[in-house]
Structure 1
C-alpha cells in the first residue's frame, strides 16, 4: 500500500483483530518505517523513513563533448582517438567540478568513432592527405618549420605497383649536416612500422661536439655504417657511391653462433675476430692456415671445417671483404667511429618501447615528434652541463702477431 508518498508491504497480519502490520518496501536497505492498519484505518505510524534519496542533478554534456571532440580531432590529427576522448573527458569534468552534478557523457567507443569519422571527412579518408595538414606536417603548433622532409610516390614493376617513401626529421637535428664528411649509421626496425609500410629505417649521425648519436638527414657522408643485408648494402652504395661502407661487425656474431651451437668448438682464441680483421689484408690462404695453427681443433676438426666453409661462402662470396675488414679501413685512413651496431640496436629498442606495436601513421608521426623533442632537450642539457654524454671506448689498435711473418 501507499501512505504519505511511500510504499509499504505486508509484514504480517492478524485476522482475529483485523490488524495488518506494514513495513517500508526498502526495509532491506535499513529503513525502519512501519505502520499498523486495523479495520482499514491507520492506527499507528512507526519510525521515520531513512530511505529518502535525493534526486541527483544531471547535466547532459554530450553535445558539448561532440563539438570538442570534432575540434580536437581536426586540430591535431596525430593524436590517437582514445587520447582525444580522454583529454575532452578530463576537461569536461574540470569544467563542471563545482556543479556537484551527474554528467551524461559520450562513452569512449562512440567518441573514437566520432573522431575517426571527422578526420575521414576532412581528408577524404586519405591518411597521406592528412600528413600534409599543418598540425601534422609542422614541428608543433608554435613551430611552423616542417617536420615532414619528403613524401615520394613512384611506380615499380607491374607486379608490385606503387611504392611510397616518407621521411621525417627535426630541423634542429638537421643542422648537423653542416659538418663536412660526417659518418652515418643506418638500421631498420620492424616493430614500429605502420601499415601498409614494410620497413622503418633509422638514420643517425655521430655529433662530435657533444659525443652523441643523433637522428639526422645527410646526403653526402664520408662513411656509412649499416647492417649486413644485401638489399640495404646495395641501396646505400647506390645512394652514396662515394662514401665508405662500414658493415656492422657481424663476423663476431657468426662465430658466436657457431661456438654456441657447437659446444666442442669453443677452442677459438679470444682475439680470433681481431686476427681475421688484421691478417685478411695480407694473404687469405696464409691467414686461414695461421689462425688454424693456433686453434685447438682436437675432436672438432669437422665442425671447424664447416665453419670455414661457411665463412668463405658468406663473408667472401656474398659480401665484399672491404665492408667488414676494419683493419684495412683504418690503414687507409677511414674514420671508423664505431665497429658494432650497438648504438642503433639499443636506440631502436628504446624507441619501440616508447610507442605501441605497429601504430597508425599519424600516431607514429606524433611519437617521432616526441622523440625528436627529447633529443633536442638532451643536446641542450649536455651543452649546458645539466647532463653528461655517454662515454665511448677508444678505438682498438689491431696489430699483426710477430710470428706471422715467419709462418709458412
Structure 2
C-alpha cells in the first residue's frame, strides 16, 4: 500500500513510519474472549445509514437525541424488537407535535437496514451493553481510530481515486504534524477523550400504542 502511494506521488511522498493495527492478532490469540461494547461503531453505522436513506435532518436530530435511538444499546437484549417499536413512536410523537410530517418511505429503508443488520447479522451482545455502567464500557485508545474517522469525513465518496487520496492525505498529514508540534511546544493541549454517556435504561411497555403501519415504518 505504501509503495502504491509513493509511486502515485511520483516518489515525492516520504513516510516517517508505518503503523499496523493488532486487532486481528488479539482475536487470534484470545479466541474465547467475549467482545463487549461496540457501541461507537454502532452509532457511526446508524448515522451513515441515515445519510444513505436521507430522512430530513430535523427528523434525524430527533432520532439521535439521547434516550431515543441509542436506547437500543442499554435495553434488555431480549427486548430489542419491542424497543425498536418504542423508538419509532418516540420519533413520531415529537414530529407530530412540531407539525413535521415523517417521511415514511425513507424511514422504511432505515428500519429495514437495522432489522437486517444489527439484531440478525451481529450478535446483540456485541453492541448492547445492558447492565454495564459508563466506567465499564471500553473506549479505544488507538489514535488510528480518530484518524480514520477524520480521513473518511474528508473523502467526497467511498473508494476514492489515487489522485483524490493523495489530495486529501497531503494537507491532513501537514495538519497533524503541525498539531503535534504545537502540543510539544505547549502552544496547544492534547485533546481529551470524551467520556461515554450511556442513556438511562427504561422499562419498555409490553403494549406499544403506535398507529404507524409496519409495512411503511
TM-score, normalization by structure 2: 0.50
Q: Which of 268, 282, 288 matches 2:84?
A: 288
Q: Determine if contact 1:315/1:321 at 8 Å carries over to the other structure.
A: yes
Looking at secondary structure, tell me which structure has more helix per residue: 2
Matched, 1:384 2:179: no
- Deviations 1:316-338 (CA, angstroms, capped at 9, x unpaired): 22333345436677679341259
Q: Which of 188, 196, 202 matches 1:395?
A: 196
Q: Which of 69, 75, 83 matches 1:279?
A: 75
Q: Output aligned runs, 1:2-401, within 5 Å.
A: 170-171=16-17, 216-219=19-22, 244=35, 246=38, 247-249=41-43, 250-255=45-50, 258=53, 260=55, 270=65, 271-279=67-75, 281=77, 283-292=79-88, 294-296=90-92, 308-325=111-128, 333-337=136-140, 343-348=147-152, 358-359=162-163, 375=176, 378-390=179-191, 392-401=193-202
- Deviations 1:61-106 (CA, angstroms, capped at 9, x unpaired): xxxxxxxxxxxxxxxx86966xxxxxxxxxxxxxxxxxxxxxxxxx
* Structure with max Cα Rg: 1
TM-score, normalization by structure 1: 0.31
Summarize the Cα distance change of 1:357–1:313 in structure 2 as closer, same or farther, 3 Å threshold.
closer
Q: Determine if contact 2:49/2:110 at 8 Å carries over to the other structure.
A: no
* Gap regions ≥5 residues in structure 1: 1-76, 82-130, 140-146, 148-169, 175-215, 224-236
TM-superposed CA distance for 1:381, in Å, is: 3.0
| In structure 1, C-alpha distance between the alignment counterparts of 2:130 and 2:110, rounded to whole Å | 22
| In structure 2, C-alpha distance between the alignment counterparts of 1:269 and 1:78, rounded to whole Å | 43
- Deviations 1:27-64 (CA, angstroms, capped at 9, x unpaired): xxxxxxxxxxxxxxxxxxxxxxxxxxxxxxxxxxxxxx
Q: Which of the pair has the greater relative contact order for Cα pairs under 8 Å at 6+ separation?
A: 2
| In structure 1, C-alpha distance between the alignment counterparts of 2:48 and 2:115, rounded to whole Å | 15
Query: What is aligned with 2:209?
Result: none
* Gap regions ≥5 residues in structure 2: 1-5, 207-217
Q: Determine if contact 2:55/2:103 at 8 Å carries over to the other structure.
A: no
Aligned length: 181
Instruction: Describe the SS at the equivalent of 1:283.
Output: helix
| In structure 1, C-alpha distance between the alignment counterparts of 2:8 and 2:58, rounded to whole Å | 51
Looking at secondary structure, tell me which structure has more strand per residue: 1
